[in-house]
């Protein structure tokens, strides 16, 4: 029997995502000046206020106020009527030195012996239903908000948009788990004041359906465009007026959008957030590594869909174990357990092995903090950083290395494909 599946996304101006982006900007700045920095940084944002807290072990000093204001400004909170504005918000820092008890379990004389920064289990997932091996509902939800942000910054076709927004996409699947049609789309977007509420609702609905959605649809390959129909149920700003938003409307915290950050409810999640953590924290690095494994397995033709789990004990370098679930889509004669055994032969899953393979001790994290950490485009960019003393440096980095299909040939050779 056909079934429905739903995923949601939130914009870069959503309060929780504002917090994530500030935390990851601090990570990048620490790593740019001291690649061996150990950082766990949490951010809280609310009306006119940012609070930074966390633990750091680093040789560098940062102007955290300046970095925080730059992030807020880039997102688009630049007007006083938002009640949260880059130049005027208060910023309180309660960042202190990392516990020596934790650090002794991670650092080793030989970097290859580095222990995991915490215990826990991490999951990676991939499916061949989209070009980027992501679940379709989440991929569309992200694309809707990315395009909405583009429209906001252009300020031409839709001039009243404010930074905060959410989206949600419901897709009908067939019995054999193939997407058949889009059943419903929800878009809630913050906006400027309108003269009348009925005029406001009509205008926003018309612009979302007739301007935003066609731009998203036209960016997709033809078979996905066919999922759009006149029968889609649209819920556009279903509560009505949405002028008060962002950190003034809701308090935001780092790490509260972990499902948006990963697979939209498909697969599984170990519970650990990513933003604000340096790569010694396996919550982050091992989640990237398992995504890398899952994507390369599917791309190599081992299976159509796969979930990969890895688990660690704090201070111990080798994983407790690796688990694989191909959901019955395996193209090999091997069991899921045997596939897991082969993964350990192909991929080094020690914390140092992951950091080295995916080049994670680089300032690459600001770009992950909105619109998902997975399913993004691997690319090389040059980033510029300014130190607290005014010194500047440019760093060439590879973004989203865990999205590279650089192990496909190794996987094929190992599996005899």
Known binding-site residue numbers for L-methionine = 55, 98, 250, 281
Q: Distance (Å, rounded) from C-alpha 76 to C-alpha 164? A: 10
Give the whole-angstrom CA distance, residue 303 versus residue 294: 9
Closest CA to 220 of 189, 179, 257, 259: 179
Residues annotated within the binding site for ATP are 14, 164-166, 241-242, 250, 256-257, 273, 277
| Token pair in block for residue 316 | 């111990």
3-class DSSP assignment, residue 312:
strand
Among 279, 255, 271, 274, CA closest to 44: 255
Binding site per annotation, positions: 14, 16, 42, 55, 98, 164-166, 241-242, 250, 256-257, 273, 277, 281
Q: What count of residues does the chain have?
A: 417
User: Among all chains, which residue has been given the structure tokens 């409810």?
Assistant: 265
CB of 368 closer than 8 Å to CB of 21: no
Q: How far apart are CA 376 and CA 401, in angstroms?
A: 10
CB of 87 within 8 A of CB of 66? no
The burial class, CB within 10 Å (0-12 / 13-18 / 19+), for 392 is: exposed
Alpha helices in 301-369 (DSSP H): 336-346, 351-358
What residues pair up with 42 in beta bridges, in sequence order?
53
Rounded Cα gap, residues 343 and 355, in angstroms: 17
Spacing of C-alpha 322 from chain mean position: 23
Q: List Cα–Cα distances, 90 to 48, 65, 123, 162, in angstroms.
A: 6, 9, 37, 21
Tokens of 25: 């900007």
Residue 275, phi then psi, degrees to nearest 5: -60, 145
């Amino acid at each position: 029997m056909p079934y429905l599946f739903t995923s949601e996304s939130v914009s870069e101006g959503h309060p929780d995502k504002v917090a994530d982006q500030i935390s990851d900007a601090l990570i990048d700045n620490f790593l740019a000046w001291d690649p061996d920095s150990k950082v766990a940084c949490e951010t809280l944002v609310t009306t006119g206020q940012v609070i930074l807290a966390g633990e750091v072990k680093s040789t560098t000093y940062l102007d955290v106020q300046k970095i925080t204001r730059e992030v807020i400004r880039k997102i688009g909170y630049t007007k006083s009527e938002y009640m949260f504005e880059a130049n005027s918000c208060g910023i309180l820092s309660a960042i202190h030195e990392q516990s020596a008890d934790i650090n002794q379990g991670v650092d080793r004389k030989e970097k290859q012996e580095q222990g995991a920064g915490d215990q826990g289990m991490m999951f990676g997932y991939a499916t061949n239903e989209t070009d980027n091996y992501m679940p379709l509902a989440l991929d569309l939800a992200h694309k809707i908000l990315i395009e909405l942000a583009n429209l906001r910054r252009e300020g031409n076709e839709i001039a009243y948009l404010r930074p905060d927004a959410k989206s949600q996409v419901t897709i009908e699947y067939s019995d054999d788990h193939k997407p058949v049609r889009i059943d419903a789309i929800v878009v809630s977007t913050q906006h400027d004041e309108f003269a009348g509420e009925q005029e406001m609702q009509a205008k926003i609905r018309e612009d979302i359906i007739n301007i935003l959605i066609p731009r998203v649809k036209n960016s997709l390959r033809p078979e996905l465009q066919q999922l759009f129909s006149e029968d889609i149920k649209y819920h556009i700003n279903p509560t009505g007026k949405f002028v008060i938003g962002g950190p003034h409307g809701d308090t935001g915290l780092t790490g509260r959008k972990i499902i948006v950050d990963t697979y939209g409810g498909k697969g599984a999640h170990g519970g650990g957030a990513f933003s604000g953590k340096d790569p010694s924290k396996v919550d982050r690095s091992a989640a990237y590594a398992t995504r890398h494994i899952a994507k390369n397995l599917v791309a190599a033709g081992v299976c159509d869909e796969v979930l990969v789990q890895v688990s660690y004990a704090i201070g111990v370098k080798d994983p407790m174990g690796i688990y694989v679930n191909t959901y019955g889509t395996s193209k090999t004669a091997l069991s899921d357990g045997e596939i897991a055994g082969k993964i350990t032969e192909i991929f080094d899953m020690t914390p140092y092995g992951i950091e080295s393979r995916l080049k994670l001790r680089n300032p690459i994290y600001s770009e992950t903090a909105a619109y998902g950490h997975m399913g993004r485009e691997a690319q090389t960019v040059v980033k510029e950083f300014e130190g607290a003393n005014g010194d500047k440096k440019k760093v060439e980095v590879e973004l989203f290395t865990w999205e590279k299909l650089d192990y496909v040939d190794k996987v094929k050779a190992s599996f005899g494909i």
